[in-house]
Chains A and B, each alone.
Chain A
Amino acid sequence: EDQVTQSPEALRLQEGESSSLNCSYTVSGLRGLFWYRQDPGKGPEFLFTLYSAGEEKEKERLKATLTKKESFLHITAPKPEDSATYLCAVQAGYGGATNKLIFGTGTLLAVQP
């Protein structure tokens, strides 16, 4: 069964304290791995798509990496405005025309000033 697991469930950082969020997955045929940011009461905001092992993408203080079993979202020198829930999702499966996403339960990040 396709599965996505995120850790930790919650993370509290001091402003400027770098860290990483983990997303491990077991799927039959990865077609893409996605990172989203979600603020309370809002819809998820797209951050990155990664397609193959070894791929990396960056945006401001965020950097996403991908291996054959997991992805990391590295946060460098975070600021309070980076506080949010970060969601990981995968698209999987060969054949069958679907873009269905399988989501993890998210990591709630709190950055204190």
Chain B
Amino acid sequence: DGGITQSPKYLFRKEGQNVTLSCEQNLNHDAMYWYRQDPGQGLRLIYYSQIVNDFQKGDIAEGYSVSREKKESFPLTVTSAQKNPTAFYLCASSPLFRRAGNTIYFGEGSWLTVV
């Protein structure tokens, strides 16, 4: 089935530890995104990429890093510099930019908890 696969579904991070969330899509989409969702807040953009080997910071990039070595993969690393990492993380993808707007599709999400 075509879609966006995120793993793991649940992840626990110790203080001072880096962790990586995986995101793979088989929709042949050029653009991929990472959003963070906290209770009572709208989804906030962490990083996005519109082409392989290129990515841009979103609104809350501090403490996160990404790579885009393959079109179908966009992993997110939550570093020890991220002071409040406990959240629900959503990966998304879309076709390349069009002036009329493009629908963004989401994966099932990953829960990250600091222990």
Contact = CB atoms under 8 A, between A and B. Distances in A.
Interface of A: 4, 31-32, 34, 36, 41-46, 49, 51, 87, 89, 91, 97-106
Nearest to A4: B42
Given A32-B100, A98-B48, A98-B97, A103 B107 contact: no
Given A104-B42, A105-B40, A106-B42, A99 B106 contact: no
B50 to A, nearest CB: 7
A99 B32 CA distance: 10
A84 B56 CA distance: 32
Interface residues of B, number: 31
Contact of B90 (A43, A89, A104): A43
Interface of B: 4, 6, 31, 33, 40-45, 48, 50, 56, 58, 90, 92, 94, 96-97, 99-109, 111
Given A41-B109, A42-B109, A31 B42 contact: no
B106 A101 contact: no
Given A42-B109, A46-B103, A97 B97 contact: yes
